[in-house]
Amino acid sequence: MNPRYEYRALLACDIAGSAGRGEQRLQEIRRVLRSALFDALSTADLDPRNFLYVDTGDGCQLVAPAALPKAGLLFPLLPELNARIRKHNRNTSADTRLRVRAAVHAGEIRLDPDGTVSGAPFEALARLLDSAPLRHATRAGTRGTPVAAILSHHFYEETVGHGYEGLDADAFTPADVRVKEYAAKAWLWYPGSPVGPQVGSGRESGFSEQPVRPEPGTAEQLVRATGNSTVFAAHRGDQYIRHNDRG
């Protein structure tokens, strides 16, 4: 059998500052992120069961069903996710508060007969998630922002550029991304922009602003899928995905 190619929209999330919290607290914030994301999907009239969710240890990846319009991964999903993380941060102790980086991209990926998934979209998404502009955005404001997102230029052009409802171009800020050999234009979204909830005093988030420190680059990616559905790995290792009839 020959490999086949599928076009998919992808969303990746990473919990900023997750290291050093201890296993119990790490498990708690992972649970909070998953719950907040699934609640946000439901509120945005998107069925979480139609998405592939993969826990990456300090974050997650979502792979949208093939039929989903890409704009659905932006509005109202991002504002809804931000509102839930902000609410959690108001009602918990400092060691279980979250700041979340998110990256959004789409592209055609290769599915080999043995279930291995590969292609440039995986690398681009990982680089966006690891980029300095996005790291700076999560530290915006007095104590940081609950959710900051970065869109590839391709994704921006096919969603915000088309003028879909709720996607105000003024809500997105251009950014130059340079991570290792990857260099591209991208677009930042963050709370306080017209598409998202307005930033309050910031006192509930419990994070102080810190200078950005370079972190090690993303490891080589190898991903596997079983069935039609796909996901990329932002860390080493294979991932095995259940069949998604809608993919």
pLDDT in 10s for each residue of the chain, 247 residues: 788 888 988 899 999 887 777 888 888 889 999 999 999 999 999 999 988 787 777 888 888 888 889 999 999 999 999 999 999 999 988 888 999 999 999 998 776 777 566 778 878 988 999 999 999 988 876 667 899 999 999 999 999 988 877 788 888 989 999 998 889 999 999 876 544 433 333 333 333 333 333 333 333 333 333 334 433 333 333 333 333 443 3
How far apart are the C-alpha atoms of 180 and 203, rounded to whole Å?
A: 35
pLDDT tens for each residue of 95-150: 889 999 999 999 987 767 775 667 788 789 889 999 999 999 888 766 678 999 99
Residue 142: the pLDDT is: 61
**Could you tell me the sign of the dihedral formed by the alpha carbons of 155, 161, 162, 163, in that order?**
positive
How far apart are the C-alpha atoms of 133 and 187, rounded to whole Å?
A: 9
How far apart are the C-alpha atoms of 97 and 94, rounded to whole Å?
A: 5
* Length of the chain counted residue by residue: 247
Residue 226: the pLDDT is: 35
- Tokens 């509005």, residue? 75
What is the average pLDDT value for the chain, to the nearest integer? 76
| 3-state class (DSSP) for residue 70 | helix
φ/ψ (deg, to 5) at 225: -135, 150
Residue 116: the pLDDT is: 62
pLDDT tens for each residue of 7-23: 988 899 999 887 777 88
Residue 218: the pLDDT is: 34
Q: State which fold the 4-201+218-224 domain adopts.
A: Alpha-Beta Plaits (3.30.70)
